[in-house]
Structure 1
């Protein structure tokens, strides 16, 4: 055991330093996302979705840094990452709308001016929608019309269409009446 530790002392040191660094980065990123969520009054489920994205980013960085620490050369590492990204690129090109909706979901998390419970109108030429935002997911919004119909509206279309606020947080008014 002692021989193993002495042989790989440098690599183990880099591994421990990398793991500590990534835990600190993850903590800071999660704290920042939580602070943005609280300041913007974003629903906790949307904030947790950002936590998942942060975890994925940290894992990718960890794989890269730990590979370097354990002696994988840059040429081998670049070959593996370029191959993986080529396969992912082809796969994501085939399902580009999913990637577009995920990206739109991240943008909506940080800059969408409407909250769950707001009544909005989406100005679509063919079929305008007037509804209450029930939930904001990674791929789509859940909208409830006045008739009670549930509409799932893709996030990328929300960013492409004009959206206006009709009434601010209708659920909050219902909660005040019941108190």
Structure 2
């Protein structure tokens, strides 16, 4: 065992340094996501979703970094990653809206001006909606109309439509919103 450590001493040291860096990097990103969530009064479920995305990113960075540390050539790693992403891309081409909705969910986490409980109006000529935001998920936003109807509206569409605020914190100010919960 000591001869194994002596033979790969640099690799072990670089692996330890890379893991420490990635742990600190993950901590910084999750702390930033939590701070943005608290500062913007964002629902805890949405913050946890962002933390899952951060963990996914750090996991792939760790794999890529450790492969490089242990002597795999950059061209080999890029060939594997590009092949995997090409297969995933072709496989997901038919369901591109899923990726679009996830990306929209990430954008909405950082810059969506409306919160859970706000009553909004979506200006859509074919299907105008006035409803209270009940929940914001990774793929869709849940809206509750005054009639009690639950509408799931795709995240990518809500970013493409004009949206206006009808009433801030409609759950608090309206008896209908309390009954909807």
Q: TM-score range by the shorter chain?
A: over 0.9
How far apart are 1:92 and its partner, in Å? 2.5
* 2:102 counterpart residue number: 102
How far apart are 1:173 and its partner, in Å? 3.2
Q: Residues 6-155 of structure 1: matches in 2 within 5 Å?
A: 6-155=6-155
Kindly provide the CA deviation profile for residues 5-54 of structure 1, in whole angstroms up to 9, marking residues without a partner as x: 11111111111001000000000000111111111111111011000000
Q: Secondary structure at the match of 2:143?
A: strand
* Partners of 1:62 and 1:37 in 2: CA distance: 26
Q: Which runs of 5+ in 2 are unaligned?
A: none
Q: Secondary structure at the match of 1:95?
A: helix
* Partners of 1:158 and 1:38 in 2: CA distance: 23
* Partners of 1:132 and 1:155 in 2: CA distance: 15
How far apart are 1:143 and its partner, in Å? 0.5
Q: Is 1:3 matched up with 2:3?
A: yes
How far apart are 1:174 and its partner, in Å? 6.0
Q: Secondary structure at the match of 1:55?
A: helix
Q: Secondary structure at the match of 2:12?
A: helix
Kindly provide the CA deviation profile for residues 93-112 of structure 1, in whole angstroms up to 9, marking residues without a partner as x: 22100000000000000010
Taking structure 1 as the reference length, the TM-score comes to 0.95
Q: Secondary structure at the match of 1:120?
A: strand
Q: Which moved more, 1:84-93 or 1:116-125?
A: 84-93
* Partners of 1:32 and 1:161 in 2: CA distance: 29
* 1:158 counterpart residue number: 158
Q: Which runs of 5+ in 1 are unaligned?
A: none
Cα RMSD, aligned residues only: 1.4
